[in-house]
Amino acid sequence: MNRKTSKQAFHEAQNIIPGGVNSPVRAFKSVGGTPIFISEGNGAYLSDVDGNKYVDFVQSWGPLIFGHRDESIENAVINAVKHGLSFGAPTVAETQLAQLVVDFFDSIEKVRFVSSGTEAVMSAIRLARGFTGRDDIVKFTGCYHGHSDSLLVEAGSGAATFGTPSSPGVPADFTKHTLLAEYNNIESVKKCFEGSSDIACVIIEPIAGNMGFIPADKEFLHELRKLCDENKTLLIFDEVMSGFRASINGAESLTGVTPDIVTLGKVIGGGMPVGAFGGRKEIMNMLSPDGPVYQAGTLSGNPVAMAAGFASLTKLKQNARVMAVLQTRAQRLVDGMSRVAKEQGITMQTAVRGSMFGFFFNENPVKNFKDATATDAELFAAFHAGMLDEGFYFACSLYETGFISTAITDEMIEETINAAERVFKAIKSA
């Protein structure tokens, strides 16, 4: 497959953009080769600047649940643009989308929109600290909550140790209130509480999508909820990635665990930049201008993003049964790939929640980030490159998640499995 134009485009980008990309994972560092430069998306497909076409299992990292260029979302955006790009003032569209979000989530009584998932999480943590009057937070090794300073913390041992910055430019003082625990390990969380009586919140991806795809165990989440209640600590579910993807009613509907605050993004923007955080009224009313916790954003509630999000969620609400169809297709995909991998002596660990899926080339089940790091990175890189040559676009990192859109058909799923079989055979014979 010829990618000469993509290679040239990447070379030119590297001269004026750090690393040639505006988000690090796009650089293909963990899979090798040169990133493909996209010219168009349509339905289930991406086309690159060389004219190659790929079935897209990334879908802009999640938001495009109805595929690229969905007509209803596209028309909503075009209509909104005709009335203006931005006002920096209230619009009815904000209230309309907010009401939809509140209707979907039992745990959310009020919601505030921002422009990104990073901003949503940063604001939610500030709100939790303001509500509780405490400073410390607990996060889990391997869970990614955006690139705000206090959350860029290295992996720890799972004990109640203070985190150290994992990026230059982040002062240690900014992360000294961040405690690390191990995902799916309640004892590690208990150690955090034993070491601090000043914990404002515990933040977790209940369905982790940034250390590979690892759903939290229900029992673990129930114990986590109990622990937070006993210590008068808020529980934050980061569903920027999983919200409306794993379930249209949130992880709380799958696990039976109700969070105090939920952060959202991706799907609620329908492809436009957006984020949100919401929770009980008594918590949300702490936000300025009603309360003392300050949070603001000139482009928050941008009318174009609100229009796209309203169209996306409205369509999802009207077609709620499609989630079962997407889950069936996602399960068929990973089961099929696992089967053809096994025939070549390759072991895969897989998981599916709604329209999200993930896989690891591991011998043993993956429950946390430590388990995830045991995956065969070289095998993943070879698989990724092979599938790209076959015309199938998977996430360019073994620590990311895959997504099924309504545009991906059963026939495409079978084609993907057949391609995977060819790729695995080629890898084993190399």
Here the tokens at position 217 are: 């165990």
pLDDT at 18 over 70: yes
pLDDT at 149 over 80: no
What is the domain partition of the chain in residue ranges?
4-57+321-429, 71-318
DSSP code for 293: B
pLDDT at 390 over 90: yes
**CATH node for 4-57+321-429:** 3.90.1150.10
- Residue range 209-224: average pLDDT? 96
Query: Is 176 an active-site residue?
Result: no
pLDDT at 169 over 80: no
Give every CB contact of residue 406 below 8 A, 6+ residues apart in sequence. Answer: 65, 66, 67, 322, 325, 326
DSSP code for 315: H
pLDDT for res 94:
98
Give the model confidence (pLDDT) of 37-95 as tens digits.
999 999 999 999 999 999 999 999 999 999 999 999 999 999 999 999 999 999 999 99
Residue showing tokens 């989630």: 323
Kindly list the distances between the CA atom of residue 353 and the CA atoms of 251, 262, 293, 331, 364, in Å, as whole numbers in the listed order: 10, 18, 35, 9, 20
- Residue range 158-175: average pLDDT? 57
- Residue range 198-218: average pLDDT? 96
Kindly list the distances between the CA atom of residue 357 and the CA atoms of 26, 345, 363, 385, 430, in Å, as whole numbers in the listed order: 20, 22, 18, 19, 28
**H/E element holding 349?**
strand 349-353
pLDDT at 163 over 50: no
Q: Which of 45, 54, 110, 144 is catalytic?
A: 144
pLDDT for res 160:
33
Give the model confidence (pLDDT) of 25-36 as tens digits.
898 988 988 999
CATH class of this structure's domain 71-318: alpha beta
CB contact burial 236-252 (16+ within 10 A = b; e otherwise): bbbbbbbbbbbbbbbbb
How far, in Å, CA of 191 to CA of 306, rounded? 42
Kindly list the distances between the CA atom of residue 38 and the CA atoms of 43, 46, 50, 52, 54, in Å, as whole numbers in the listed order: 14, 7, 9, 9, 10
pLDDT for res 50:
97
How far, in Å, CA of 429 to CA of 425, rounded? 6
Query: Is 294 an active-site residue?
Result: no
* Average pLDDT over all residues of the chain: 93
CB contact burial 295-323 (16+ within 10 A = b; e otherwise): bebebbbbbbbbbbbbbbbbbbeeeeebb
Query: Is 342 an active-site residue?
Result: no
DSSP code for 149: G
Assign 371 a pLDDT band (cuts: 50, 70, 90). Answer: very high
pLDDT at 156 over 50: no
Q: Which of 238, 367, 393, 399 is catalytic?
A: 238
pLDDT for res 151:
75
Tell me the sheet residues that pair with 54: 46
Give the model confidence (pLDDT) of 247-258 as tens digits.
999 999 999 999
pLDDT at 161 over 60: no
pLDDT at 430 over 70: yes
> Within 10 Å of residue 269's Cβ, how many Cβ atoms?
28
Give the model confidence (pLDDT) of 410-419 as tens digits.
999 999 999 9
How far, in Å, CA of 357 to CA of 330, rounded? 6
Q: What percent of the chain has pLDDT over 90?
A: 87
Please work out, in degrees rounded to the nearest 5, the angle formed at the alpha carbon of residue 61 by the alpha carbons of 301 and 363. 145
Which among 221, 154, 232 is positioned nearest to 193, based on CA atoms? 232
Assign 186 a pLDDT band (cuts: 50, 70, 90). Answer: very high
pLDDT at 155 over 50: no
Give the model confidence (pLDDT) of 319-370 as tens digits.
999 999 999 999 999 999 999 999 999 999 999 999 999 999 999 999 999 9
DSSP code for 299: T
How far, in Å, CA of 415 to CA of 249, rounded? 31
pLDDT for res 35:
95
